[in-house]
A and B are shown apart, each in its own frame.
Chain A
Amino acid sequence: MRLLETHALEAFYGDFQALYGIDLRIDEGETIAVVGANGAGKSTLLAAITGLRQTPPDMVAFDGRPIGGLKPAEIVSRGIALVPEGRRLFPSLSVEENLLIGNYGRKVRGPWSLETIYRLFPVLKERRSQPSTSLSGGQQQMVALGRALMSNPRLLLCDEISLGLAPSVIKDIYAAVADIRAAGASVVVVEQNISQALAVADRIYCLLEGRVTLTGHPGELSRDQIGRAYFGG
């Protein structure tokens, strides 16, 4: 079942074109990775999918229906949640309030609730009443993931969730991503960290300067191919 599809997706910042006709698809239950260097257009792609950037309606389709140009709140209610780059927790909200706000726009039954998120990240339960800014980077990333899960999304978008974290913490975070997959969500991970992306994804897309330069299953792609697609040349 096709869950999300982009058709010749383009994006501009003034005169600067950030995306040149991206065609991407994610099937139900699939995990894909989008890799690329800084400025390749990865975050712009996510902004277009979540509605933070306006696009013409038929450039993005979710569940077979066009969602391009809808308000972000409307897109969330249909089942797409984003873990934004840099976590972006709400500083005036406690840890638990940050989680609770996650299902503001979409309250559906599903595998994820405060209880199951605390089971996934027990440390958050201990710190539930603390301000979110008092947590370590890894714990903040757990809150950001949990916050996105609270809406029981059908599609979870993770933007650079390993950035700036210690390797052991990255391992914990990606172990949680595996649990999230197992619970049934489709996942898009956007990563600069190629080996991490290859380890988790069913398929990968490599972006370079706003274009898809390579796509395929991790096992079928050689290091060389990926290196060329990632850096150009």
Chain B
Amino acid sequence: MTDLTTVTARRRTTAGGPPRVAQQRRGLPHLGAVAALTPFALFLAVFLLWPMAAVVWHAITPNGVLGTSGLVRAVSGPYRSAFVNSFVLSGASAVIGGVIGLVLALVVRDLRRPAWIAPATDAFSSVASQLGGVPLAFAFIATIGTQGLLTKALSAVGIDVRSVFSLSSLAGITLVYLYFQIPMMYLVVAPAVGGLRRSWREASELLGAGPVRYWLTIAGPILAPSVLGGMVLLFINAFSAYATAYVLSSSTSLVPLQIRFVLQGNVITGEQDLGYALVTWTVVLMGVGLVVMQLLQRRAARWTAA
């Protein structure tokens, strides 16, 4: 494309003779651009930007006056605990899922013998990372809920799960979220792990580095952007998950569930502003996460075998 544009540009400056032809050639792609890009842009503007702009506008003008009282209220008092819980849940599931996903990628790479293991893990992860929502919550209720089969099997051998663990607790929801977080992390880091060349390790060993030194100075720094980027992605993924948490425990104080509560329960004007403020904080947080992720990914792309 760059070649083409420079060629036409040069022709325009040198030819000078028939400018109409050149203008037509330049005009056409512009028309094509308008036809191709406008519906898409309009669609995003109406169905995404307008509603979100309205929310942010409402949030910064509580009761019609510009001010931060709504935003402050959304992160104080009972609503602060929703943010704290959501942070703990998303953070825990991102870190645990991230570590297990990374170990899985390393293990699958090292186990080269059954040739099917890597493609099978890839395919399984692609599927499992998209499973979630209502059926997944049911599956865990059947397994380790109060009447779950694993719960009863364990109590038969004298381990009472119910006294220490509940699916509606943060630990319980984390356990369920790992079901899609681990495969998601695997998909993100597998290319980076595959990009670690065997020759780098051999070279470092020849130069006298032990495994610790190799991981600290070579493999670690190369994997770090992918791993951190993957964890940010998992964080966003968990923070915005709704259906699973709703089914497991609609009463736990999590940000998405609080938004629903405010939206459904109260039509009083002040409460509605509160909902807008909660959404604004969520979107700001997710946006920051997205930017961090993009920056990390750009760094990671340098070493990934694409």
Q: Do A and B bind each other?
A: no
Q: Residues of A with Cβ closer than 8 Å to B?
A: none
